[in-house]
């Protein structure tokens, strides 16, 4: 004779008089991720970007970078800071 193994129906008490069975916990386990995905898929309205106030780029060749941003993209260069010992610009804005 082979012993039969029965699945025990367990219940968890949430509050006096309220019971959550194993079956309902499994249904919640499937339902909660689906609801989370549905809520996350809603479009979030973001504010418009009106401009960029500041940007810092570290470059190895300032002359090439200056030509790209100034000549190709048309950005202005309000001022630059020269090196202390001479020898060109240290920082360009």
The Cα–Cα gap between 89 and 65 comes to 12
pLDDT at 3: 55
**For residue 63, pLDDT beyond 70:** yes
Closest CA to 67 of 47, 88, 92: 92
Using one digit for the tens of pLDDT, what is the confidence trace for 36-62? 877 777 767 888 888 887 777 888 888
Using one digit for the tens of pLDDT, what is the confidence trace for 2-42? 555 555 555 555 555 556 677 777 777 888 888 787 777 77
Distance between alpha carbon 35 and the CA centroid of its chain, in Å?
20
């Amino acid at each position: 004779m082979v012993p039969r193994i029965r699945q025990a129906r367990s219940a968890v008490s949430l509050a006096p008089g309220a019971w959550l069975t194993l079956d309902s916990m499994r249904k919640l386990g499937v339902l909660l991720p689906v609801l989370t995905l549905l809520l996350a898929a809603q479009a979030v309205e973001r504010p418009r970007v009106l401009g960029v106030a500041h940007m810092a780029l570290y470059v190895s060749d300032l002359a090439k970078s200056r030509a790209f941003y100034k000549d190709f993209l048309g950005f202005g260069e309000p001022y630059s800071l020269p090196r202390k010992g001479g020898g060109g610009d240290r920082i360009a804005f």
